[in-house]
């Protein structure tokens, strides 16, 4: 049967697929609009299957927040090119993915039809890579931050036993500043005691081998104890959030910055309970 321009336009408006793809779908389904939509979704999956070996290192990390601020979520969706990452359809899908993650639901299952249509529209290997959801546990505050237009996303939870402090603008500001710290300096752990001993040992082995190569031999064992301790401490200042130099004031650590906020809030202790940092493709 002959396919009219009006039919093609209607299918395009419903699916955002290209004119050629819409014409093909309608021709294959004898003009049945519902079947044509299904055809395009299936075609999207077929396209993705053909491009599964293509690298998907572009994309977006998106943030969603509950109105009461007591839950937040990040979602990362990857594609092959920066061009697709900047399209309205892709941006909307990633925003919707973050909202679904905020509800505690499976993204691919919940947005299955939208995902298939996105594959059809972009013609790229689009991957729903990961998501993270935080729900406030106890007294404290959550904060989220998106850096570099979606290249990096951060969630952090600060805890305090004081309800007045938890509701204060000072703690909200502190949580935001800690998010900036995490985005900029990419810590792996909150405190030194969180670092696995195996990771410390591996770092010490690298450092000691470099020292041996430089000096020709290692210092005596008695001196080596102090050297190892110093190396481990320095390593922890690099990868542990509380021990890092505070990005807004290099004269103090993040730990000391939060101690100052605590004092301003009446002395209630403030701790970093947890954080997550998503960097696009990393």
190-216 pLDDT, tens digit each: 999 999 999 999 999 998 888 888 877
At residue 29, does pLDDT exceed 80?
yes
Quote the pLDDT of residue 12.
Answer: 78
pLDDT in tens, 95-145: 999 999 999 999 999 998 899 888 888 888 899 999 999 999 999 999 999
At residue 54, does pLDDT exceed 80?
no
Does residue 240 come out as left (phi exceeding 0), alpha (psi in the -120 to 50 range) or beta?
A: beta
User: How long a stretch of residues is the chain?
Assistant: 282
At residue 70, does pLDDT exceed 90?
yes
Q: Are 134 and 157 in contact (CB under 8 A)?
A: yes
Quote the pLDDT of residue 159.
Answer: 98
Specify the CATH class of 5-50 in words. mainly alpha
> How many degrees, rounded to 5, is the angle at CA 236 between CA 207 and CA 149?
110
pLDDT in tens, 237-280: 999 999 999 999 989 999 999 999 999 999 999 999 999 999 99
Does domain 52-135 bear CATH number 3.30.479.20?
yes
Q: Are 89 and 126 in contact (CB under 8 A)?
A: no
> Domain-by-domain residue ranges, the chain?
5-50, 52-135, 196-239
Q: Are 137 and 144 in contact (CB under 8 A)?
A: no
What is the rounded distance in angstroms from the CA atom of residue 158 to the CA atom of residue 203? Answer: 29
Quote the pLDDT of residue 219.
Answer: 82
Confidence grade of residue 48 (pLDDT, cut at 50, 70, 90):
low
Mean pLDDT along residues 80-94:
95
User: Is the pTM here over 0.75, yes or no?
Assistant: yes
- % pLDDT > 90, the chain: 66
- List of residues 6+ apart from 114 with CB closer than 8 A: 93, 96
As a whole number, the mean pLDDT across the chain is: 90
The per-residue b/e assignment along 188-207, b for 16 or more CB within 10 angstroms, e otherwise, is ebbebeebeeeebeebbeeb
- β-partners of residue 157 are 142, 274
Q: What are phi and psi of 133, to 5 degrees?
A: -125, 130
Q: Are 43 and 61 in contact (CB under 8 A)?
A: no
Compute the chain's Rg from CA coordinates. 25
């Amino acid at each position: 049967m002959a396919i009219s321009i009006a039919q093609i336009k209607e299918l395009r408006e419903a699916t955002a697929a290209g004119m050629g793809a819409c014409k093909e779908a309608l021709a294959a389904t004898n003009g049945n609009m519902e079947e044509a939509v299904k055809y395009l979704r299936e075609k999207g999956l077929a396209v993705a299957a053909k491009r599964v070996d293509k690298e998907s290192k572009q994309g977006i990390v998106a943030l969603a927040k509950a109105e009461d601020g007591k839950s937040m979520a990040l979602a990362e969706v990857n594609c092959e090119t920066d061009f697709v990452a900047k399209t309205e359809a892709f941006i909307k899908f990633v925003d919707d993915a973050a909202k679904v993650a905020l509800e505690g639901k499976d993204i691919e299952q919940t947005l299955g039809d939208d995902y298939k249509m996105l594959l059809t529209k972009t013609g790229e290997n689009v991957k729903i890579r990961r998501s993270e959801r935080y729900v406030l546990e106890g007294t404290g505050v959550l904060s989220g931050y998106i850096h570099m237009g979606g290249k990096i996303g951060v969630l952090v939870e600060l805890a305090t036993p004081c309800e007045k402090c938890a509701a204060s603008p000072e703690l909200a500001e502190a949580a935001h500043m800690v998010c900036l710290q995490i985005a900029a300096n990419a810590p792996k752990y909150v405190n030194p005691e969180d670092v696995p001993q195996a990771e410390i040992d591996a770092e010490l082995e690298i450092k000691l081998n470099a020292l041996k190569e430089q000096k020709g031999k290692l210092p005596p064992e008695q001196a080596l104890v102090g050297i190892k301790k110093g190396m481990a401490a320095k390593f922890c200042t690099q990868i542990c959030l509380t021990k890092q130099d505070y990005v807004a004031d290099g004269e103090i650590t993040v730990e000391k910055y939060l101690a100052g906020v605590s004092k301003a809030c009446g002395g209630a202790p403030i701790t970093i309970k947890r954080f997550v940092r998503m960097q696009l493709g990393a």
